Homo-oligomer: A and B are copies of this chain.
Amino acid sequence: MFIRQRWYVAALAAELSDRPIGRTILGEHVAMYRNHAGAVVALRDTCPHRGYPLSLGRVVGEHLVCGYHGFTFDAGGSCVSVPGQDRIPSRLHVRTYPLVELGAWAFIWMGAGEPDYARLPDAPWLEASEERAVIAGVAAIDANFGLLVDNLLDLSHETFLHSGSIGTPEVAETPIEVEVDEAARRVEVYRHMTGVVCPPFYANTTGLEGLVDRWQDIEYHPPAFYQLNSRLAPTGRPPLPDGSDDHAFHMKIFYGLTPATERTVWDFWALSRDFAVEDRTVDDFLAKMQAGVVQEDVDALTVLQARLDEGNETTEVSIKIDRGGLAARRILDDMAREELAASS
């Protein structure tokens, strides 16, 4: 049971071109491409003729041509050409999906009815500008959506699973604050580390030395959108009363959690920063670091899913660090129940 009436990240903007891609999202096969006019298109990745994936075809102008027998579809999903005859049966139509680019990512609406554009995330940092540099990527994980939610809502794992990269002892040692807004469907987890040694990857990219204050403030908007607001500043220098915070370094670490199937998930990520904006070597350094971090998560979650696949009973013991994840589960359950009620 997927939560469908929400936007999910479907692709990196950079993945959309005149070479179509195929991706399974909420159990459905979706083909995506960018046509000659630059518009992005998502449609069911199944030719109605004999079921061949349209993503294996070619984009010709505004059209997508099936790679098996050449059935050709426009951006609205209508068939405009078939081989060997002029008449086109009306049943040759393919479902399309609303697809919206927001900076580094494209969001898809897999739900019923008209898309609810008000539910698109408000995330200007996803878009690169003179003040912000953005890098992005995606990983396929052989693990279910819930395991990724657990992972991202409890960052104490950084200290152990990511000990070789972003993890420092203080992350696990520092207690968290959790705020849950059931009405707004939002979970926030705050971890403020004060007077700690600057982690190497931040020292490298910011030039900071000595003791720093490091904040990790998670905003999770279930099911699909996660934003980690990271703040780094010389210790003892909080934001000013007027909210300005120019002496600090900020990074937003975005995750798009998109179920592929009931037991697999797409792990989209984007890193947006307000420092070293023009510095491509910092882009490269962060991209490499993040790819390593994501791979550590992929490996761990794959192992956990393999255990689940065995079908044995499992038990959990939760402690304080798990409060964010447990709140997220409650909201996800509520949302699923709500959709089920609405659809019956």
Contact = CB atoms under 8 A, between A and B. Distances in A.
Given A51-B307, A303-B56, A304-B52, A160 B67 contact: yes
Contact of A84 (B83, B314, B321): B321
Interface in A67-86: 67-70, 82-85
A334 B200 CA distance: 63
Contacts of A156: 69-70, 83-84
A317 B175 contact: no
Contacts of A317: 48-49, 89, 91-92
A69 B321 contact: yes
A35 B65 CA distance: 52
A154 interface: yes
Contacts of A318: 49
Contact of A85 (B46, B175, B300): B175
Given A51-B307, A51-B314, A319 B67 contact: no
Nearest to A79: B317
Number of copies: 3
Contacts of A56: 300, 303
A119 interface: no
Given A70-B159, A173-B84, A89 B319 contact: yes
Given A84-B176, A84-B321, A157 B51 contact: no
A156 to B, nearest CB: 4
A9 to B, nearest CB: 23
A84 B174 contact: yes
Contacts of A57: 160
Contacts of A52: 300, 303-304
Which of A51, A89, A175 has most B Cβ within 10 Å? A51
Given A48-B315, A51-B314, A51-B316, A160 B84 contact: no
B307 A50 contact: no
A95 to B, nearest CB: 12
A303 B69 contact: no
A157 to B, nearest CB: 5
Nearest to A22: B303
A192 B164 CA distance: 59
A150 B50 contact: yes
A317 B79 CA distance: 12
A92 B322 CA distance: 15
A49 B320 contact: no
Interface in A164-207: 172-176
A149 to B, nearest CB: 12
A310 B302 CA distance: 21
Interface in A27-42: 29
Nearest to A91: B317
17 contacts: A48-B316, A49-B318, A52-B300, A56-B303, A57-B160, A66-B160, A67-B300, A68-B160, A69-B321, A70-B160, A83-B319, A84-B156, A84-B319, A84-B321, A85-B319, A85-B321, A89-B317
Given A51-B314, A91-B317, 4 more contacts: A46-B307, A56-B303, A69-B161, A89-B319
